[in-house]
């Protein structure tokens, strides 16, 4: 149905769509839990907050799992190289994520304030740390990851966990964290009332403005970084072979795609504008619209990063020629085609079910509702 080149482009878009879906859906869960210890003033209010996302958080993990599976299926070289090179960072994310399922399940099993506060902080750790680490990982992609391939395409990673925590990557981690807090805060403001909503709107508005400042700062920083440029002709129909290309590093090259396609500037522009509009809408109590504009901000930020890196997926600082791109790190034509049909069938089912679940369980979560459902809610 599609030639190899077209499928490579389609899967770049599909992986991006899955990452965006994860950031919007599971991202607002993480944002809510990051706000939990600061917005809820007592156990009753914190139960309200937890139950705004309680029915959905497990379903939203599907986006995370599916994105990982899609990278494994579509970009096996990226999956193998990233999961070995970022091993300790991913382990840190996994350890942090352990707090989420046990936190949701255990926090209300014991009627003890210290017990519940401890699990509330566990939910914070399990949400805030992954949000930061995901941004740190993206930041390191712009700097280049220290790996290289030998003639047998066996990768060697020479970096360390602490090297990942460089100033630029930490800045990107803070952009990611404030963005997801904004996303979660917009959702929480829509699902709550009175004091919880007031405090949520205040902290979310601050997070949105901080995110804009950090995003702009990161943009100017990227302009001064050495980007990657492919200097020879690429066989876009060819089989995967990262070593078949020549790559050089040039200062400011990460902005080349924006210079070549000026319309792409709409994404960084929306990445600045949408959080500001979100803050304004929250102040006006237009919470549902604020969640939509916050989601558009998430889309814009991720698309800005994707367009900047295109066609690179995982640049190499050790050997630029070993850099992985969407053209030379993919699976076979048959695999991409089969997986495309799988996504074509399953993705609408996931979206439809998620939409139905949110529609059925819409509305405000209040203290009165929590008291009425004392033995059935988190």
Residue 375 has pLDDT above 80, yes or no: no
User: Does the structure show a pLDDT above 70 at 291?
Assistant: yes
3-state secondary structure of 262: helix
The pLDDT tens digits for 147-162 are: 999 888 888 888 888 8
Q: How many CB atoms lie within 10 A of CB 246?
A: 12
Answer with the residue of higher pLDDT: 125 or 61.
125
pLDDT in tens, 60-116: 888 888 888 899 999 999 999 988 888 888 898 889 989 998 888 888 888 888 998
Tokens 């220290």 locate to: 146
Which of the 8 DSSP states describes residue 56? T
pLDDT at position 300 over 90: yes
Q: Please report which confidence band the pLDDT of residue 200 belongs to, taking 50, 70 and 90 as the band edges.
A: very high
What's the mean pLDDT in 164-187? 95
CA 219 to chain centre: 18
What ranges in the chain are assigned the alpha helix state H?
Answer: 4-39, 43-53, 57-74, 76-85, 87-97, 99-106, 113-143, 161-164, 167-191, 194-224, 256-260, 266-283, 287-309, 333-360, 367-372
Is the pLDDT confidence value at 54 over 90? no
The pLDDT assigned to 360 comes to 84
Tally of residues, the chain: 378
Which one has a higher pLDDT value, 133 or 369? Answer: 133
Pick left, alpha or beta for residue 194 (phi over 0 → left; psi -120 to 50 → alpha; otherwise beta): left
**Average per-residue pLDDT in the chain?**
91
Residue 147 confidence (pLDDT): 92
**Each residue's pLDDT tens digit, 213-237:** 999 999 999 999 999 999 988 888 8
The pTM of the full predicted model, rounded to 2 decimals, is: 0.93
Mean of the pLDDT values across residues 177-205? 95
Query: Can you count the helices (H) and strands (E) in the chain?
Result: 15, 6
Q: How far is CA 93 from CA 105, 126, 128, 182, 346, in A?
A: 20, 8, 10, 20, 27
364: left (phi over 0), alpha (psi -120 to 50) or beta: beta
Arithmetic mean of pLDDT, 309-336:
93
Instruction: Reply yes or no on whether the pLDDT at 186 is more than 90.
Output: yes
pLDDT tens column, 329-374: 999 999 999 999 999 998 899 889 888 988 888 888 888 888 777 7
- Above pLDDT 90, what percent of the chain? 65
Q: What is the pLDDT of residues 242-280, one digit of tens each?
A: 888 899 999 999 999 999 999 999 999 999 999 999 999
DSSP string, 211-254: HHHHHHHHHHHHHHSEEEEE-S---TTSPP-GGGS-EEEEETGG
Confidence of residue 376 (pLDDT cuts 50, 70, 90): low
- The phi-psi region of residue 153 (left if phi > 0; otherwise alpha if psi is between -120 and 50; otherwise beta) is left
Domain ranges of the chain: 4-372
Q: What is the pLDDT of residue 56?
A: 86
Q: What is the dihedral of CA 335, 337, 343, 348, to 10 degrees?
A: -170
């Amino acid at each position: 149905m599609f030639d190899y080149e077209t499928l490579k482009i389609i899967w770049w878009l599909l992986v991006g769509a899955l990452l965006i879906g994860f950031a919007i859906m599971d991202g607002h869960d993480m944002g809510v839990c990051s706000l939990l210890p600061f917005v809820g003033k007592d156990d009753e209010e914190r139960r309200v907050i937890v139950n705004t996302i309680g029915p959905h958080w497990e379903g939203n993990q599907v986006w995370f799992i599916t994105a990982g599976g899609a990278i494994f299926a579509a970009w096996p070289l990226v999956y193998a190289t990233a999961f070995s090179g970022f091993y300790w960072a991913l382990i840190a994310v996994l350890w942090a994520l352990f707090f989420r399922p046990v936190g949701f399940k255990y926090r209300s099993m014991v009627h003890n304030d210290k017990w519940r506060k401890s699990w509330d902080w566990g939910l914070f750790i399990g949400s805030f740390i992954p949000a930061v680490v995901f941004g740190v990982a993206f930041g390191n992609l712009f700097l280049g990851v220290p790996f290289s391939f030998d003639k047998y395409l066996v990768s060697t990673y020479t970096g360390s966990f602490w090297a990942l925590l460089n100033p630029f990557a930490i800045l990107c981690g803070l952009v990611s964290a404030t963005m997801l807090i904004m996303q979660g805060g917009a959702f929480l403001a829509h699902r709550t009332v009175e004091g919880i909503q007031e405090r949520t709107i205040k902290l979310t508005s601050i997070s949105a403005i901080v995110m804009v400042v950090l995003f702009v700062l990161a943009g100017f920083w990227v302009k001064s970084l050495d980007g990657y440029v492919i200097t020879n002709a690429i066989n876009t129909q060819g089989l995967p072979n990262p070593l078949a290309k020549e790559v050089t590093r040039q200062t400011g090259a990460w902005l080349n795609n924006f210079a070549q396609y000026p319309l792409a500037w709409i994404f960084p522009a929306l990445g600045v504008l949408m959080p500001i509009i979100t803050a304004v809408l929250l102040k006006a109590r237009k919470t549902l619209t604020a969640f939509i504009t916050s989601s558009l901000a998430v889309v814009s930020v991720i698309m800005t990063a994707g367009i900047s890196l295109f066609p690179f997926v995982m640049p190499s600082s050790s050997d630029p020629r070993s850099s992985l791109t969407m053209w030379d790190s993919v699976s076979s034509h048959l695999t991409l085609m089969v997986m495309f049909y799988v996504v074509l069938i399953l993705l609408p089912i996931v979206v439809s079910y998620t939409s139905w679940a949110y529609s059925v369980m819409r509305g405000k979560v209040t203290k009165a509702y929590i008291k009425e459902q004392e033995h059935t809610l988190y």
